[in-house]
Structure 1
Amino acid sequence: MKKPWVRKLLIGLGIFFGLILIANLAINIWLKTQLPDYIKKNTDYQISYKSLGVDLGTGNIFATGITVNNKNPQNVNVMGFQGTIDTLKVSRFGIYDAVFNKTISTSDIYLAKPNLNIVLAKPKDKKKDKKTNPVSFENIRINNGTIQVFKHTKQKLLGVNDLDLMVENLQLTEDTVENKLPVTFDHYSIKGKDIFFQPDEIYTLKVQKITTANGQVSVNNLHLAPIIDFDNFKKTYPKKKQLITASIQKIDFRDVVLKDNTVSLTNASFQNPNILIYTTDAIPDKVKKPLNFELNLGNFKLNNALIQVNKPDGNKMLFAKDVNLNIKNIEFNKETSAEMIPLRYKDFSFSGKDIQFSNHQDMNIGTFSLSPKKGDIRNISVIPKQVGSGKTTMNLTANQIVFNINKWEIVDKKLNLDVKDVLVNQVNGTVTAGTIKSTKKSNFNGIQFPVLVRNVTLKNSNLTYDSKNQPLQFQNLNATIKDIELTEKPKNGGLAVKVKDYNLTTRNFAYRTKFYNMTVAALSVGKNKIKLDQFAMKPLVSRAQFIRMIPVESDLYDLKANQVNVVGEWDFFSDNQFLHATNVSVLSANANIFRSKIPADDPKEKLLYSRLLRTIKLPMFIDQLQLKNSVLEYEEDTPKSSGPGKLTFTNFNMNVKNLNSAKMKGKPTQVDIKINCTFMETSLLSVNWGFNTADQSDRFTIAGKLNNIPAVALNAFVVPYMSVTATGTIQEMLFNFKGNPKGIGGTFNIKHKDLKVSILDKDSKKKKGVLSAVVNIFVKSDSGKFPESVVVEDVERDPTKSFFNLFWKGIEDGLKKTLIGIDVDKTKKTVEKTKEAVRDVKTTVNEAKASVKEAEKDISKAVSSDQKSPAEKPKEKKGIFRKVFNKKENPETK
Structure 2
Amino acid sequence: MKKTTKILLYIITGIILLALILFALNNFAEEKLKKEIEDAISQINLTYEELDINLLNRKATLKSPSLSMNGKSFKAEKLSLNNIGVFKYFTEKEIEIGSFRLDGPSFVYNKSKKSKTSPDSTSKGFKKSILIDKFQVRNGDLTIVENDSAENSLYAKFSHFKILEFQLDSSSVDNTIPFNYSDYALKVDSFFYKLDARHISTGNLNVEEDTLMLKDFRIIPVYGKQEFQKHIPYELDRYELVIEEVSFSNLNWMFKNDSLSIESPLTEIKNANLEVYRDKLQPDDTRQKKMYSEMIRELPVILKLDTIRLSDSYIKYEELIDADRSPGEVDFSKLNASIYNLSNKNMQAKDFKPTVVDVKTMFMQEANLNVNWEFNIRNKNDRFNISGNMDRISEEAMNRFMKPAMNVLAKGVIEDMAFNFSGNHTEALGDMKLVYKDFKVEVLREDGKRKNKVLSALANLIMNNDAISDDVRQKQIEVTRDKTRSFWNYLWKMIRAGALKSFF
For normalisation by structure 2, the TM-score amounts to 0.82
Provide the C-alpha distance between the structure 1 equivalents of 2:236 and 2:417, rounded to a whole number of angstroms.
Answer: 30
* Cα distance, 1:787 vs structure 2: 5.0
Paired with 1:547 and 1:733, the residues of 2 have a C-alpha distance of: 36
Counterpart secondary structure, 2:492: helix
Change (3 A) 1:764 1:380: same
1:377 is aligned to: 62
Distance 1:619 1:733 in 2: 38
Q: Is the 8 A contact 2:347 2:378 kept in 1?
A: no
State whether residues 348 and 371 of structure 1, in contact with CA within 8 Å, keep that contact through their aligned partners in structure 2. Answer: no
Match among 439, 452, 455 for residue 771 of structure 1? 455
- How far residue 491 of structure 1 moved from its aligned partner, in angstroms, is 13
Matched, 1:424 2:102: yes
List per-residue Cα deviations over 1:856-886 (Å, max 9, x = no partner): xxxxxxxxxxxxxxxxxxxxxxxxxxxxxxx
- The CA deviation string for residues 305-355 of structure 1, in whole angstroms up to 9 with x for no partner, is xxxxxxxxxxxxxxxxxxx9833xxxxxxxxxxxxxxxxxxx665677xx9
Give the Å deviation of 1:445.
4.2
**Residue 140 of structure 2 is aligned to residue 461 of structure 1:** yes
Whether 2:218 is the aligned partner of 1:564: answer no
CA contact (8 A) 2:143 2:152 kept: no
Q: Which moved more, 1:764-773 or 1:656-665?
A: 656-665
Task: Write the distance in 2 (CA, Å) between the matches of 1:358 and 1:779.
Answer: 81
Is 1:477 the equivalent of 2:159? yes
Q: Secondary structure at the match of 1:611?
A: helix
The verdict on how the C-alpha distance between 1:753 and 1:654 changes in structure 2, with shifts beyond 3 A counting, is same
Provide closer, same or farther for how the CA distance between residues 480 and 794 of structure 1 changes in structure 2, counting only shifts above 3 A: same
AA aligned to 2:224 is: S
Work out whether residues 753 and 782 of structure 1, in 8 Å CA contact, stay in contact via their aligned partners in 2: yes
- TM-superposed CA distance for 1:702, in Å, is 0.5
What corresponds to 1:731 in structure 2? Answer: 415
Partner in structure 1 of residue 286 of structure 2: 603
Amino acid in structure 1 at the alignment position of 2:415:
Q
Q: State the Cα distance separating 1:481 from its structure 2 match.
A: 1.2
Q: Are positions 1:516 and 2:198 aligned together? A: yes
SS in 2 for 1:717: helix
RCO higher in 1 or 2 (8 Å CA, sep ≥ 6)? 2
Q: Which stretch of the first structure deviates more once superposed, 771-780 or 517-526?
A: 517-526
- Determine helix, strand or coil for the equivalent of 2:65: strand
Counterpart amino acid of 2:77? N
1:470-517 Cα offsets, whole Å, 9 max, x none, are 533333521111123446689987664433211111223333334333
The Cα of 1:670 is off from its aligned counterpart by: 1.0
Contact 2:172 2:180 survives alignment (8 Å)? no
Cα deviation digits, residues 699-736 of structure 1 (max 9, x gap): 11100001101133122222233211101111111110
Q: Secondary structure at the match of 2:458?
A: helix
Residue 641 to residue 708, structure 1, CA distance change in 2 (3 Å): farther
Residues in 1 aligned to 2:247 and 2:183: alpha-carbon distance in whole angstroms: 18
1:687 aligns with 2:371: yes
User: Residues 442 and 493 of structure 1 are in contact (CA less than 8 Å); yes or no, is this contact kept in structure 2?
Assistant: no
State the SS of the aligned residue for 1:605. coil
Question: In the alignment, which residue of structure 2 is the partner of 1:594?
Answer: 277
Measured after TM superposition, the shift of residue 523 of structure 1 is 1.5
Aligned in 2, Cα 1:637/1:770: closer, same or farther, shift over 3 Å? same
State how far apart, in whole Å, the 1-side matches of 2:485 and 2:392 are.
30
Counterpart of 1:643 in structure 2: which amino acid? S
Structure (1 or 2) with the larger CA radius of gyration:
1
Q: C-alpha root-mean-square deviation of aligned residues, in Å?
A: 3.4
Is 1:447 equivalent to 2:126 in the alignment?
yes
> After superposition, what is the alpha-carbon deviation per residue over 1:619-660, rounded to whole angstroms, capped at 9, x for unaligned?
321121011011111112235562322110000001001111
Q: CA 1:325–1:448 in 2, change beyond 3 Å: closer, same or farther?
A: closer
Equivalent position SS for 1:816: helix
Cα distance between partner residues in 2 of 1:744 and 1:794 = 6
Which residue is equivalent to 1:526?
208
Structure 1 754/597 Cα, relative in aligned 2: closer, same or farther at 3 Å? same
Q: CA deviation at 1:375?
A: 4.2
CA distance in 2, matches of 1:809, 1:607: 17
**Structure 2: which amino acid aligns with 1:455?**
K
Q: Is the 8 A contact 1:677 1:684 kept in 2?
A: yes
The reply to whether residue 678 of structure 1 matches residue 362 of structure 2 is: yes
- SS of the residue corresponding to residue 468 of structure 2 reads coil
Shift in Å, 1:443: 5.3
1:665 offset after TM fit, Å? 8.3
> How far apart are 1:571 and its partner, in Å?
2.3
Which secondary structure state, in structure 2, belongs to the residue aligned with residue 709 of structure 1? coil
Question: Which residue, out of 296, 309, 314, partners 1:613?
Answer: 296
Match of 1:627 among 289, 300, 310: 310
Choose the corresponding residue for 1:760, options 444, 462, 477.
444
Match of 1:276 in 2: none
Residue 696 in structure 1 maps to residue 380 in structure 2:
yes
Summarize deviations over 1:394-425 as a string: whole Å, max 9, x none: 2x5411112354454797xxx75544432111
Give, in whole Å, the separation in 2 of the partners of 1:496 and 1:750.
61
TM-score (norm 1): 0.48
The secondary structure found in structure 2 opposite 1:499 is coil
Query: How far does residue 580 in structure 1 lie from its aligned partner after superposition?
Result: 1.6
Equivalent in 565, 581, 585 of residue 264 of structure 2: 581
How far is 1:574 from its partner? Answer: 6.4
2:308 match: secondary structure: strand
Query: How far does residue 369 in structure 1 lie from its aligned partner after superposition?
Result: 4.6
Q: Give the number of aligned pairs.
A: 467
Per-residue CA deviation, residues 39-92 of structure 1 (Å, 9 max, x unaligned), is xxxxxxxxxxxxxxxxxxxxxxxxxxxxxxxxxxxxxxxxxxxxxxxxxxxxxx
Percentage of matched positions with identical amino acids: 25
What is the alpha-carbon distance in structure 1 between the residues aligned to residue 53 and residue 478 of structure 2? 76
Q: Secondary structure at the match of 2:203?
A: strand
d(CA) in 1 for partners of 2:146, 2:104: 22
Aligned to 1:402: 80
Distance, in Å, in 2 between the alignment partners of 1:665 and 1:698 is 16
* Distance (whole Å) between structure 2 residues aligned to residue 551 and residue 658 of structure 1: 36
Contact 1:350 1:371 in 2 (8 A): no
Where 2:270 maps in the other structure, the secondary structure is strand
Partner in structure 1 of residue 31 of structure 2: 326
Per the TM alignment, residue 527 of structure 1 is displaced from its structure 2 partner at its CA by: 5.0
| Aligned AA (1:725) | L
- Segment of structure 1 superposing worse, 493-502 or 647-656: 493-502
Taking the aligned partners of 2:343 and 2:91, their CA distance within structure 1 comes to 46
Aligned letter for 2:78?
Q
2:10 counterpart residue number: none
Distance in 2, matches of 1:368 and 1:553, equals: 60
Counterparts of 1:589 and 1:699 in 2: how far apart (Å)?
29
Distance 1:573 1:519 in 2: 25
Instruction: Give the letter aligned to residue 366 of structure 1.
Output: E
Taking the TM superposition and a 5 Å limit, the aligned residue runs for 1:169-568 are: 326-327=31-32, 349=35, 364-369=47-52, 375-381=60-66, 391-394=70-73, 397-404=75-82, 405-406=84-85, 407-408=88-89, 416-428=94-106, 430-434=108-112, 436=114, 438=116, 439-442=118-121, 444-448=123-127, 451-466=130-145, 471-486=153-168, 496-568=178-250
Question: What is the alpha-carbon distance in structure 2 between the residues aligned to residue 526 and residue 642 of structure 1?
Answer: 51
The structure where strand makes up a greater share of residues is 1
Q: Distance in 1 between matches of 2:382 and 2:348?
A: 20
Distance 2:177 2:311 in 1: 41
The residue type paired with residue 99 of structure 2 is D
The alpha-carbon distance between structure 1 residues 714 and 489, as it changes in their structure 2 partners (threshold 3 A), is farther
1:717 equivalent in structure 2: 401
* Aligned equivalents of 1:797, 1:491: Cα separation in 2: 50
